[in-house]
Amino acid sequence: MLESKVLRTKMNYSVVWILAKRELIGYWRSKSRIISSLAQGLLFLFVFGAGFSSSPVTIQGIIVNPRAFVASGMAAIVILFTGIFGGMSIFRDKMFGFMKELLVAPVSRGTLMLGRTLGVALQTVIQVVTIIILSVAIGYFGYDLNLIWRIMLIIPVSLLASLGVVGIGLIISTRLSDMQSFGLIQTFIVMPMFWLSGALIAFPSSLQIILMLNPFTYSVDLFRLTLLGVSYYPFWLDLTVTVGFGALLIFIGARSFNKMEVSQ
């Protein structure tokens, strides 16, 4: 009895990786999901890139290639959509009874939550790197060799930025049991964070205060700093808000996951 309680409170990192790998395998097998996410990214790149092609973008007095501006923002937006929709896997597991089996397994709920979080976060990294590589291939970032290490540096940035978004997905998916309600709430949350992040549109300075109220704005800005070398806000502010927002949402998501009940 005591041994069972210890197992349920101890973090099992081998199980964490198994659950994360399961999420990655499920993502890889869902070809329609991969194709639709890439198609959506390319659509935004071409539509907004073409729209900004004759409109120079200035950040802190530095003129930025408008297509690079859109591409860096689109790479960050991939995290927003992938992280939120990653929470839908919990609905799938509830529906097929897999979640019930996980909850009675001799592992802690913290292990289960960390495995899910890591799996979704790794999915976002794969999609972000893919979008950036496609953007480089079509010339949005130019052909500078410095892009190699910038793309490598974007991997840990993507992981940090994904934490808060994955936390939102966890909170929504553990609190609700209706798929239609999930769709409505995620749209209500995602769309304002999307359009008011400055990812695709260069807002005038008079509206910057609205963008500053959106925590995801700082993740977008951190992406621009990494890929373009310029940003609207200081690096320390981008990093502090991104890490703080991620830690807060993961903490709330973990508490919500611990209280989650699965009907028999």
pLDDT the model gives residue 92: 72
pLDDT the model gives residue 6: 44
* 140 domain residue, yes or no: yes
pLDDT the model gives residue 54: 59
Tell me the C-alpha to C-alpha distance, in Å, between residue 77 and each of 38, 146, 169: 12, 23, 15
Q: Per-10-residue mean pLDDT for the chain, 264 residues long?
A: 46 79 81 75 71 70 83 86 75 70 73 82 86 84 82 90 85 74 74 84 78 91 91 93 90 78 60
pLDDT the model gives residue 87: 67
What letter does residue 229 receive in the DSSP assignment? S
pLDDT the model gives residue 51: 63
* 264 domain residue, yes or no: no
Looking at residue 162, its amino acid is S
Angle at 18 between CA 175 and CA 25, to 5 degrees: 85
pLDDT the model gives residue 239: 94
* 255 domain residue, yes or no: yes
Which residue range is the domain that position 100 belongs to?
A: 2-259
pLDDT the model gives residue 3: 40
pLDDT the model gives residue 238: 94
Number of domains the chain is built from: 1
* 214 domain residue, yes or no: yes
pLDDT the model gives residue 31: 76
